Structure 1
């Protein structure tokens, strides 16, 4: 779900590293932007709203001038209300890169309706930015009576600044239930794996392993890799990304 990489210009001379994201700034942003509402009714347990802290690491690279940006080690995760039975999750990988997902409980299934990705590569002379928006079909993430090995197809449309439309499709597989250590707590989680093929204005492949709290559907751990090719006046620019993170606690911080 990355895009806009062709905006990198030949004026770039050297990269400047992004700053680690700030949990304090995420809490302040939550206070000023998110209404402090009670969890919406939806018939399913929703995760507590607020700002969680994840620990992780990762990198994002452009083949153009061998540019690399690091992620983590601290990654704020903001969970906010998004309508009846729904919530939005945002993770800040670094000061130049954030991503959101919109999750809803519907008839016992957790669905992903889409989200956004913002990225910026700071080349000192210029700092091109990209915002991509995905709209999913919707994509069913968890469903009742899943058995290990069950899989079904997910697909999403992507529109990114500076490029034409793209799409992603591929199998979503339920690996099984596992116990994940979150801080001092052992959490029962559903492990799912996505394998994606990107086509259209940008092409490539990606794999995501995701562990979701069995009670609320909140992602508590993720491991992923991504490779995307984008056309540009300089030829094809390849973007690669990989990383992992795990929540440090299931109790978020809230303003006050």
Structure 2
């Protein structure tokens, strides 16, 4: 083994950057720089608390690595919560929002810096995140989905710049993106038990709405009512199975056209008899 052999290790990489940083700088350079310094101080404190290490900070970006995948995701959630709390305490016209991507992968080590696909994938996942949100790779999801009391929305295989498409997940809590509420680590609770459990009040409201919809459908001609019901079912399947790819409009258009055509043809015999 030679001294110049590239050193590698498996690590969890967290990549964060500010959404709309150029726009914020154009609107208020001094205020944006002060907010960025404040957010970076909070990020550094939380990374250290979760036994991570800040690898690099250039421009508005922050790269950190963690030995524990669970600690990395928990740190990301607390970062978004901390920044959200800062904005709530001192409301601003242009609040600063970070997007975070996390990946577990192999990296090349050069002194204190890390390089390679493990870092690049985390950076690309961060670009998929909503402002104030977190997106993780499937390798991270496999390690944490049953260890954190958060929900995960599968985003499917999204195209990533200069990287082969890979499956990613958005971190959620009760239908909201992570960062809007504190999320403790809980070993014995699953995402479905915590993030998606409906409250009693939520269970009562749909009943009256369902009755109203049923009454309205009952008043429509049967072909139209059936077509609308099937169309709504297809739309729900599309939204819950992957709303990023819209396909329901074609079958819905055919169904509605068929129902309308049946109504027209059904009326012609009556008109002929008259």
TM-score, structure 2 normalization? 0.24
Bigger RCO (CA 8 Å, 6+ sep): 1
Q: Indicate the structure (1 or 2) with the bigger Cα radius of gyration.
A: 2
Task: Give the structure with the higher percent helix.
Answer: 2
TM-score, structure 1 normalization? 0.26
Task: Give the structure with the higher percent strand.
Answer: 1
